[in-house]
């Protein structure tokens, strides 16, 4: 078999031979055993544990009972449409002047970079930033310049060499839970006349007095050009958000960004879910406090056990392992103790630095937190990892959802 069809078949065969059979021993790398009713699930991003909250469920049910809206793209939505009104509500929550909703966080990131960068506008990307941002760079045809993770000095050196452009960081990084030194990056971007974009997918809802995210919590909202959010984390829906301080940007985005022009708007039950979730996020400070307490408790305990956490500080805890077979073994052993984490392997990690990510949430009890620590202690000895876990250095890259 030749031509494109033959090439594709060889690629599929290579995947199954080299990864599924040789590396994963015939299994699917990301799937372990099925959890039971008493299992501790740490694979989700529902950080506030509100996805099944009655307030959200009732809002969805009410919407489904009267849902008749036809599908249409965002440019057709009038100013009084529920999605348009919700865009304003999210913008106000993040202390911004304007916002625009998309079908997903991926589309928000890709669409934003597409319309603000270009062949003459390079994009400077933290090496741990999400893969969706690289898609935006490709759509824009922009030069891509990678800088070292959380290293403002390296970014400044790259800007000196290549000139002003778009700088992109995460407030909290999804792979390791590391926190961005936002003020330092704001100052570098301003000094080099560059736009700063902050992906707040893993800090909106969890950080700030009312869950407004780190940018607003640190009083930097007027110095950050754009913020993006995947509304499938602490806000447990399925949508993406872009906010800024230029109301004129919204129409520009809706008429120029591919994800807005060529995708349908959100369905009514989507907007009902998001509106109810936003209402909960605003008033659930107790859940944010609980999440901070769990994070502050578990992180040092895991470090004391010898686990390498990759420099993280927030609610996403990444156990750095070795190759794909190593992280699958760690996952399997923890599952025997009813603790379920999420495996991350290439292309989300490097080949030799895979991750088992534990996403903490406010619904965890003290007893469950103790069970997590006990399981990690037993597993360390079962797998014979005590001798090398504490000597590993942080990974060079990582992209997760």
Mean pLDDT by runs of 10 across the 401 residues of the chain is 88 92 89 93 96 96 78 82 95 98 96 97 96 95 98 98 98 95 98 98 98 98 98 96 96 93 90 97 96 97 92 95 89 96 89 91 97 94 57 44 54
In a domain, 362, yes or no: yes
Angle at 316 between CA 360 and CA 291, to 5 degrees: 40
Domain end, chosen from 238, 259, 283, is at 283
| Model pLDDT, residue 47 | 98
Cβ atoms < 10 Å from Cβ of 37: 4
Distance between CA 354 and CA 149 in Å, rounded?
17
Instruction: Looking at the structure, tell me whether residues 33 and 62 fall in a common domain.
Output: no
Distance between CA 274 and CA 231 in Å, rounded?
8
Do 39 and 368 touch, CB atoms closer than 8 A?
no
**3-state helix/strand/coil string of the chain:** CCHHHHHHHHHHHHHHHHHHHCCCCCCCCCCCCCCCCCCEECCCCCCCCCCCCHHHHHHHHHHHHCCCCCCCEHHHCCCCCHHHHHHHHHHHHCCCCEEEEECCHHHHHHHHHHHHCECCECEEEECCCCHHHHHHHHHHCCCEEEECCCCHHHHHHHHHHHCCCEEEEECECCCCCCECCHHHHHHHHHHCCCEEEEECCCCCCCCCCCCCCHHHHCCCCCCCCEEEEEEECCCEEEEEEEEECCCHHHHHHHHHCHHHHCCECCCHHHHHHHHHHHHHHHHCHHHHHHHHHHHHHHHHHHHHCCCCCCCCCCCEEEEECCCHHHHHHHHHHHHHCCEECEEECCCCCECCECEEEEECCCCCCHHHHHHHHHHHHHHHHHCCCHHHHCCCCCCCCCCCC
Domain end, chosen from 238, 254, 283, is at 283
Instruction: Looking at the structure, tell me whether residues 319 and 379 fall in a common domain.
Output: yes
- Which positions ≥6 away from 230 have C-beta within 8 Å? 104, 105, 106, 108, 199, 201, 240, 401
What is the domain-level CATH number for residue 180?
A: 3.40.640.10
* Number of structural domains in the chain: 2
Q: Is the pTM of this model over 0.85?
A: yes
| Model pLDDT, residue 30 | 86
Domain end, chosen from 250, 283, 316, is at 283
| Model pLDDT, residue 400 | 52
What is the domain-level CATH number for residue 325?
A: 3.90.1150.10
Do 128 and 399 touch, CB atoms closer than 8 A?
yes
Do 234 and 362 touch, CB atoms closer than 8 A?
no
Instruction: Looking at the structure, tell me whether residues 279 and 328 fall in a common domain.
Output: no
In a domain, 395, yes or no: no
User: What Å distances lie between residue 230 and 101, 104, 379, CA to CA?
Assistant: 10, 6, 33
Instruction: Looking at the structure, tell me whether residues 93 and 223 fall in a common domain.
Output: yes
Instruction: Looking at the structure, tell me whether residues 246 and 320 fall in a common domain.
Output: no
Do 175 and 152 touch, CB atoms closer than 8 A?
no
Which among 168, 126, 170 has a CA at the least distance from the CA of 147? 126
Instruction: Looking at the structure, tell me whether residues 71 and 184 fall in a common domain.
Output: yes
Instruction: Looking at the structure, tell me whether residues 30 and 115 fall in a common domain.
Output: no
In a domain, 3, yes or no: no
Residue 366 domain boundaries = 25-50+285-389
Instruction: Looking at the structure, tell me whether residues 172 and 302 fall in a common domain.
Output: no
Instruction: Looking at the structure, tell me whether residues 126 and 271 fall in a common domain.
Output: yes
């Amino acid at each position: 078999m030749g031509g494109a069809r033959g090439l594709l078949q060889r690629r599929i065969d290579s995947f199954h031979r080299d990864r599924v059979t040789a590396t994963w021993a015939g299994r699917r790398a990301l799937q372990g055993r099925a959890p039971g009713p008493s299992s501790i699930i740490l694979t989700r991003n529902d950080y506030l544990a509100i996805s099944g909250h009655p307030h959200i469920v009732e809002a969805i049910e009410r919407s489904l009972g009267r849902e008749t809206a036809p599908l249409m793209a965002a440019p057709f939505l009038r100013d009084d449409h529920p999605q348009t009104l919700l865009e304003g509500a999210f913008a106000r929550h993040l202390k911004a002047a304007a916002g625009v909703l998309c079908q997903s966080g991926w589309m928000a990131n890709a669409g934003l970079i597409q319309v603000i960068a270009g062949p003459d506008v390079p994009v400077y990307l933290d090496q741990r930033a999400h893969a969706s941002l690289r898609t935006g760079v490709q759509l824009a045809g922009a030069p891509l310049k990678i800088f070292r993770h959380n290293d403002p000095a390296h970014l400044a050196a790259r800007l000196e060499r290549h000139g002003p452009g778009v700088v992109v960081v995460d407030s909290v990084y999804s792979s390791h839970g590391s926190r961005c030194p936002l003020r330092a990056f704001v100052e570098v971007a301003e000094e080099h006349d560059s736009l700063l974009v902050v992906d707040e997918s893993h800090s909106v809802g969890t950080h700030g007095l009312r869950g407004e995210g780190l940018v607003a919590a640190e009083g930097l909202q007027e110095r950050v050009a754009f913020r993006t959010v995947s509304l499938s984390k602490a806000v447990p829906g399925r949508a993406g958000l872009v906010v800024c301080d230029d109301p004129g940007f919204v129409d520009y985005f809706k008429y120029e960004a591919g994800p807005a022009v060529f995708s349908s708007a959100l369905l009514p039950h989507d907007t009902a879910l998001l509106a109810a979730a936003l209402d909960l996020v605003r008033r659930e400070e107790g859940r944010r406090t609980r999440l901070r307490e769990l994070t502050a408790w578990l992180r040092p305990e895991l470090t004391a056990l010898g686990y390498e956490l990759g420099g993280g500080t927030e609610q996403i805890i990444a156990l750095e392992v070795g190759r794909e077979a190593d992280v699958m073994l760690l996952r399997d052993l923890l599952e025997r103790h009813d603790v379920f984490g999420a495996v991350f392997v290439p292309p989300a990690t490097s080949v030799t630095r895979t991750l088992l990510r534990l996403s903490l949430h406010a619904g965890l009890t003290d007893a469950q937190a103790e069970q997590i620590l006990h399981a990690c202690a037993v597993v360390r000895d079962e797998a014979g990892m005590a001798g090398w876990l504490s000597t590993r250095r942080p990974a060079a890259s990582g992209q997760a959802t």
